Structure 1
Amino acid sequence: MRKTAIRLADGRELLYYDARDGAARDAADPRPLAPAGRGTELRTDPLLGDTVAIASHRQERTYHPPPGLCPLCPSRDGRPTEIPAADYEVVVLENRFPAFAGPGRCEVVCFTADHDGSFAALDDERAALVLAAWTDRTAELSALPGIGQVYCFENRGAEIGVTLAHPHGQIYAYPFVPPRTERVLASAVAHRRRTGRNLFDDVVAAEEADGRRVVLSGEHWTAFVPYAAHWPYEVHLHPRRRVPDLTALGAAARAELPVLQRELLRRFDRLFGPGAPPTPYVSGWHQAPVRHPLRAEYGLHLEVFTVRRTPGKLKFLAGSESGMNVFINDVPPEAAAERLREAASE
């Protein structure tokens, strides 16, 4: 893998990731952009203890640009975009409208220059390159002072709230440990005290032994619908050998992962039958918090879920979910797993 770093007109960093040497990556950004540097205020909820980012500048971010004006497509025909090159493989750049900045960092990951592509449609080499970029960014962002956790994720679909249709994901280097992770760690500590074992190891072993909610398996990975799934269709993909984050994956598990991840996303797209629009989803890598005393108890895993519960109907987070964080799932996890098994590639 070759990595080339440049600076955009406002000072933000952009990184080109290429599978091999040879591509020209020296094009300059000609846009007259003001220097980056808008800040975010972090506030703590006195009742819940949660950290909330106040980021008013994000009101100005690009919202569903018209055809031909996508900021994540390559710069072509005299139309400069966020990416100065006329073509690219994988690009990571600092978000122009970050939720966190100093401390913290927000990055955009462009999977392909093809505006109409998708992660599931990538070939083996490109999917592996995206994984290499996630891994590299996890290592570099984790080394920054003040970072609590690195989260690599993709939001896909307008129903999720995506404002740019180009196939891309994001990386958040949180300057704190997010509430979800704190709750998981608390559960892991309680499980260790009660049983003497690791919670992630026991969850994966129990799902594999039960089998009803297992969706797909490889030699090094297993994917299942959680026993108490929050979302209509939700799958967790775990390595069979627990590791804290993407940087710790072995070569064999790393090689197998892109195939299984793309197959999982293709199954989500087949859930609602031929002719259905692409399934909206969130796909995110949960990694162990950085420099945390309980880091060794955490297990890397991918979570994929959709807000679509049936053709033409969405799962809305209404009173109970939004107001009290108590989820009510209309699709039994066992039924969801069966549907996802039936959606396997031919």
Structure 2
Amino acid sequence: MTVDISKLETVAGTLYRRHFVKADSRSLWLYGYEAHELEPLAEEGGEPIHGGSLRWHPLRQEWNVYASHRQNRTFKPSAANDPLAPSKPGGAMTEIPFADFELAIFDNKFPSFHPDASAPTESIPGMALHRPGGKCEVVVYTPALEGSLATIGQDRRRLLVAAWIDRYEALFAQGHKFVLPFESRGEEVGVTLHHPHGQIYAFDVLPPVQTRMAAAFREGYDLSAEMQSWGEGYEVTRQGGLRAVAPPFARFPYETWIIAEEAVPGPWAFRAEQADAFAHLLGDLTRRYDALFGRPTPYMLSLHAAPAGEERTFQFTAQFYPLLRSPDKVKYLASVEQSTGLFTIDIMPEQAAAALKDL
């Protein structure tokens, strides 16, 4: 067996990446501090799904992706059928056909976007359609069935940051316009797989939020400087040249952002100290949320790095959107918020910063 292993010099030190092609032709990458040389277990083949289409919304001026095959994706499996766990010799196969691993990334079996997607086959008078090119990947933080960014430990968070950077570089090199690593945590957010994991979407069309962000930075908005002008009232904690803050314009109760004091376009531009601090803050904020609410906190986490061509002015942020107002109260997006985009926030950002800082 030929094993495709690369040695990487990263902000987390020397790491190893193994590329493996699954039986259905999807790619799997295994990252670790040790070279992964385990023998793969037998998989069933199959054809990967490429379908879907993008349709233009003429009033909101944005693309929406339609992918009906995702209706059949895995939904709340039992622990015994966890598709993100290591496979067991002689047992059921999972998405990762190895008995063990440190961190894994693989092509999503039910993607919204695909680099080989076909042009839309439907024809709708007056409507602009676009092929859903791009890429969707699943990031499995750990082989353990339970855990969080707070509990997986600093070494594994460093490994995660290095893997994100590696995928940023690969996906931009493939010509994608924007790359978004993200995590959804908790059933309140709509999570259907509880194994600790996130995802990466690579877009071939620039989403409207990032279009507006890029324009603001291009026109001279300096988020890092403004953050430092807010003072300590909005700061939760800081580490290694990065700060965790509750921005005064937050849209969710207890929303926090991680922002570099000296702006960087994306994690790929971090110094080793900044990368280490970023890994620490990801765990620290998750820990603070769980302590504040006394339970695993449902949230959405997204990494907003520069779209292709915007690296000179764009300023990177990692944004946490918790879905709780209190331990037993969910922040629902009501009709007026969904209809207008104008959010109503129940907790003042400075109150949120003070509550999280005290933990």
TM-score by length of 2: 0.88
Pairs within 5 Å for 1:206-221: 206-207=229-230, 210-221=231-242
Q: For residues 47 and 253 of structure 1, do their structure 2 counterparts lie closer, same or farther at Cα, with a shift above 3 Å needed?
A: same
Q: For residues 199 and 172 of structure 1, do their structure 2 counterparts lie closer, same or farther at Cα, with a shift above 3 Å needed?
A: same
Give the equivalent residue in structure 2 for 1:57: 69
**SS of structure 2 residue aligned to 1:76:** coil
Deviations 1:74-127 (A, max 9, x none): 001422100011111000000000111122000000000000122211122111
Q: State whether structure 2 residue 358 is matched by structure 1 residue 338.
A: no
**Counterpart among 129, 134, 142 of residue 164 in structure 2:** 134
Q: State whether structure 2 residue 178 is matched by structure 1 residue 157.
A: no
**SS of structure 1 residue aligned to 2:80:** coil
The unaligned stretches of length 5 or more in structure 2 are 1-14, 116-132
Question: CA shift at 1:206, angstroms?
Answer: 1.9
Give the equivalent residue in structure 2 for 1:178: 207
Contact 1:124–1:259 (Cα < 8 Å) also in 2? yes
Contact 1:38–1:57 (Cα < 8 Å) also in 2? no
Deviations 1:258-304 (A, max 9, x none): 122211110011112xxx331101111110001x3x43221111101
Q: State whether structure 2 residue 30 is matched by structure 1 residue 16.
A: yes
Deviations 1:44-90 (A, max 9, x none): 11112211111111001000012300100000142210001111100
Contact 2:82–2:94 (Cα < 8 Å) also in 1? yes
What is the one-letter code of the residue matched to 1:288?
A: A
RMSD: 1.4
Q: What is the rounded CA distance, in whole Å, between the counterparts of 1:309 and 1:117 in structure 2?
A: 23
**Counterpart among 113, 121, 127 of residue 100 in structure 1:** 113
What is the one-letter code of the residue matched to 1:217?
A: R
Q: What is the rounded CA distance, in whole Å, between the counterparts of 1:24 and 1:79 in structure 2?
A: 21
**SS of structure 2 residue aligned to 1:228:** coil
Question: CA shift at 1:24, angstroms?
Answer: 2.4
**SS of structure 1 residue aligned to 2:312:** helix
Q: What is the rounded CA distance, in whole Å, between the counterparts of 2:265 and 2:70 in structure 1?
A: 32
Contact 1:25–1:85 (Cα < 8 Å) also in 2? yes
Contact 1:98–1:106 (Cα < 8 Å) also in 2? yes
Contact 1:9–1:35 (Cα < 8 Å) also in 2? no
Q: What is the rounded CA distance, in whole Å, between the counterparts of 1:74 and 1:201 in structure 2?
A: 41
How many residues of Structure 1 are paired with residues of Structure 2 in the alignment?
327
Deviations 1:216-263 (A, max 9, x none): 012310111011110011001011221111111112211222122211
Q: What is the rounded CA distance, in whole Å, between the counterparts of 1:310 and 1:92 in structure 2?
A: 34
Q: State whether structure 2 residue 298 is matched by structure 1 residue 284.
A: no
% identical aligned pairs: 35
Give 4+ residue runs of structure 1 displaced > 4 Å after superposition.
none
Contact 2:234–2:349 (Cα < 8 Å) also in 1? yes
Give the equivalent residue in structure 1 for 2:255: 234
Contact 2:56–2:62 (Cα < 8 Å) also in 1? yes
What is the one-letter code of the residue matched to 1:161?
A: G
Contact 1:74–1:84 (Cα < 8 Å) also in 2? yes
**Counterpart among 16, 19, 29 of residue 5 in structure 1:** 19
Q: What is the rounded CA distance, in whole Å, between the counterparts of 2:80 and 2:317 in structure 1?
A: 36
After superposing the two structures, state which structure 1 stretch, 259-268 or 325-334, moved more. 259-268
TM-score by length of 1: 0.91
Contact 1:153–1:282 (Cα < 8 Å) also in 2? yes
Question: CA shift at 1:29, angstroms?
Answer: 4.2
Q: For residues 29 and 120 of structure 1, do their structure 2 counterparts lie closer, same or farther at Cα, with a shift above 3 Å needed?
A: farther
Contact 2:79–2:145 (Cα < 8 Å) also in 1? no
Question: CA shift at 1:28, angstroms?
Answer: 4.2
Give the equivalent residue in structure 2 for 1:68: 80
What is the one-letter code of the residue matched to 1:133?
A: A
**Counterpart among 206, 210, 227 of residue 204 in structure 1:** 227
Q: State whether structure 2 residue 97 is matched by structure 1 residue 84.
A: yes
Pairs within 5 Å for 1:293-332: 294-332=310-348
**SS of structure 2 residue aligned to 1:269:** helix
